[in-house]
Amino acid sequence: KVQPKFEVNQTLNQKIALFRGDITKLEIDAIVNAANSSLAGGGGVDGAIHSAAGQRLLQTECKTLGGCKTGEAKITGGYKLPAKYVIHTVGPVGENEDRLKSCYVSCLNLMKEYKLRTVAFPCISTGIYGYPNEPACDTALSCVRNWLEEGDNADTVDLIIFCLFLPVDVGFYESKMLDYFPLPSDFYGGDGDNGNNTSTKDDKSKSVEKTAAAGSSTTQAEDTYMDVAMESQPEEALEETSNTQPMASLDMEDDNMLTSQSSELDSKEGNGNDVEIEQEGLHSTREEAASGVKIDTELKDSLPNKENLDHEDGIQDEAQARM
């Protein structure tokens, strides 16, 4: 069991968050840029922020700042970024705890000065500057915790986000977060260990790395869940699902349909004198033509032929004339 480095403070816990993703997508007051001393843009997160903000726009303002010393911070507009501002800070090359602490404190003080309520930090100096990931994580968490406990700092901020990208950083931050921002013992069922059991934290870190390596997605997870659900469902239930309507009811519907068609056929045959047929085949009676109704082609064979009707009408006319 590892004892937490700080006392439980739920108010401060609510002001901290971990986010794994693209820092340039966060719609908050400010994001922190791990910049170089010239503030001219570079690689890694620095280049990504300049590109997303509009490289020419951001560099134009950065040129007016006269660079930035290691451990200090300067602020610019966000331009095309969702964030309103960018706070640029220059981290140390290699492991230098004092300089790295100065980076975090300078950014937080600048945030407070400009009355900003939300900010996101990347992992400063852990890229090409070569600061080891684990001690950098400890420095970041301890600096933020100490700053929040000073004066009224906690009242001036709503949320401080640690924006992570690499699985190794996710593992360190998730395992060390409880050292600096412990939760009440009753959160763990009242066992009093404050959730700082080393084996539990190591298991969580390994789980995070495995998930990242597998590249699993929400869609894949949903598909797996559905497959498991189908496999666990009894065969009887599957049969009931596939046959939601009994065959007897289907047969009754077919009989009703045939009866309806038969009645319609009888009605049509009773009005043989009103039937008109074109060369292509069967069409509607004059009464049906007025209402837009057509006779089904299956009734064609049951209706009188037009030529026979004309012939019969001629014989009747001739017989009447002779009389």
- Contacts with 218 (C-beta within 8 Å, 6 or more apart), sequence order: none
Closest CA to 88 of 35, 158, 21: 35
Whether 58 and 191 map to the same domain: the answer is yes
Which pLDDT belongs to residue 262? Answer: 47
Whether 31 and 151 map to the same domain: the answer is yes
Alpha carbon distance, N-terminus to C-terminus of the chain: 124
Residue 107 near residue 75 (C-beta atoms within 8 A): no
Which pLDDT belongs to residue 237? Answer: 38
For the segment 173-201, the average pLDDT, to the nearest whole number, is 69
Whether 172 and 72 map to the same domain: the answer is yes
**pLDDT tens figures, 237-290:** 333 433 334 333 444 444 444 444 444 444 444 444 443 434 444 344 444 444
Whether 178 and 301 map to the same domain: the answer is no
- Contacts with 136 (C-beta within 8 Å, 6 or more apart), sequence order: 100, 123, 124, 125, 126
Residue 237 domain-assigned (yes or no): no
Least confidently predicted of 108-122, 153-167, 257-271: 257-271
Whether 91 and 190 map to the same domain: the answer is yes
- For residues 291-302, one letter each, b for 16 or more C-beta atoms within 10 angstroms of the residue's C-beta and e for the rest, the string is eeeebeeeeeee
Lookup result for tokens 């992570």: 164
Instruction: Evaluate if residue 304 carries a pLDDT over 80.
Output: no
Instruction: Please tell me which residue, 115 or 283, carries the higher pLDDT value.
Output: 115
Domain interval for residue 286: 247-322
In terms of C-beta density within 10 A (0-12 exposed, 13-18 middle, 19 or more buried), how is residue 24 classed?
buried
Whether 152 and 24 map to the same domain: the answer is yes
Beta-bridge mates of residue 88: 33, 74
Average pLDDT value over all residues in the chain? 73
186 pLDDT tier (thresholds 50, 70, 90): confident
Instruction: Evaluate if residue 235 carries a pLDDT over 50.
Output: no
- Structure-token pair, residue 149: 């406990």
299 pLDDT tier (thresholds 50, 70, 90): very low
Whether 163 and 303 map to the same domain: the answer is no
**pLDDT tens figures, 312-323:** 555 555 555 554
CATH number at 112 reads 3.40.220.10
